[in-house]
Amino acid sequence: MTRAIRLRVNGATHEVEVPTYRTLLDCLRNDLGLTGSKEGCGVGVCGACTVLLDGKMISSCIALAVFADGHEVTTVEGLAEDERLHPVQQAFMDLGGFQCGICTPGQVVAAKALLDSTPNPSETEIREWMLGNLCRCTGYYKIVESIQAAAQAARQ
């Protein structure tokens, strides 16, 4: 069974017909060609699939695409404005907040959501918000520092 859905992704409206069992992640990656979000664990734990649904960060691997019908989705592809990277993206690059990069789309989307809701987060607040975005490479230090730097840059 399929369903025609209409969703706004990164500001652009898309109309797609999807099987009801299609996850939001698969819809973004396969139907819309937005392969920035990754499937890591498939059970909503690792955070590699993090996207924003109506501004709220969710695990897109355990959300159905039909949940997004009539709603707004933000993926990592929607963070930069034209050629200008989002402060979070710029900070991750400047401070080395990523190594292999597989968790990075999820990390930056989650970090953007944090700064949207809490522009000046403490280190504790950063760690608590980000605890669900797993990274096997960095040990998390540079991720936290990148977010702190992004917060500071955004305030200027």
Partner 1 sequence: MNAFEYRTPRTPDEVLAILQEFGEDARAVAGGTALVTMMRQGLVRPACLVSLRDVTGLGRIEATNGVIRLGALVTHREAEVSPLLRERLPVLAETFRRVATVRIRHMATVGGALAHADPNQDPPVTLLALGARVEIQRAGGRRELPVEAFFRDYYETALEPGELVAGVSVPLLPSATGASFVKFLPRSADDYATVAVAAVVTLEPDGERCREARIALGSVAVTPLRARGAETVLAGQRLDQRVLRATGEAARAEVDPMTDHRGSAAYKREMTAVMVGRALTQAWDAARRALGSMR
Residue ranges that bind partner 1, judged by CB under 8 A: 1, 3, 19-21, 23, 42-45, 47, 50, 53, 56-59, 62-64, 66-67, 69, 110, 129, 131-132
Q: Which is nearer to partner 1, 57 or 147 (CB)?
A: 57
Q: Residue 9 is encoded by which pair of tokens? A: 């992704």
Q: How far is the CB of 83 from partner 1 (least distance, A)?
A: 30
Q: How far is the CB of 58 from partner 1 (least distance, A)?
A: 5
> Crossing angle, helix 87-95 and helix 104-117, to 10 degrees?
130
Q: How far is the CB of 43 from partner 1 (least distance, A)?
A: 5
d(CA 137, CA 18): 35
Helix (H) or strand (E) holding 149: helix 141-155
DSSP 8-state secondary structure symbol assigned to residue 84 = B
d(CA 119, CA 148): 10
d(CA 144, CA 123): 7
d(CA 54, CA 74): 8
Q: Which is nearer to partner 1, 69 or 94 (CB)?
A: 69
Q: Which is nearer to partner 1, 83 or 115 (CB)?
A: 115
DSSP 8-state secondary structure symbol assigned to residue 28 = I
Q: Which is nearer to partner 1, 1 or 12 (CB)?
A: 1
Q: How far is the CB of 84 from partner 1 (least distance, A)?
A: 27
Q: Which is nearer to partner 1, 63 or 95 (CB)?
A: 63
Q: How far is the CB of 109 from partner 1 (least distance, A)?
A: 10
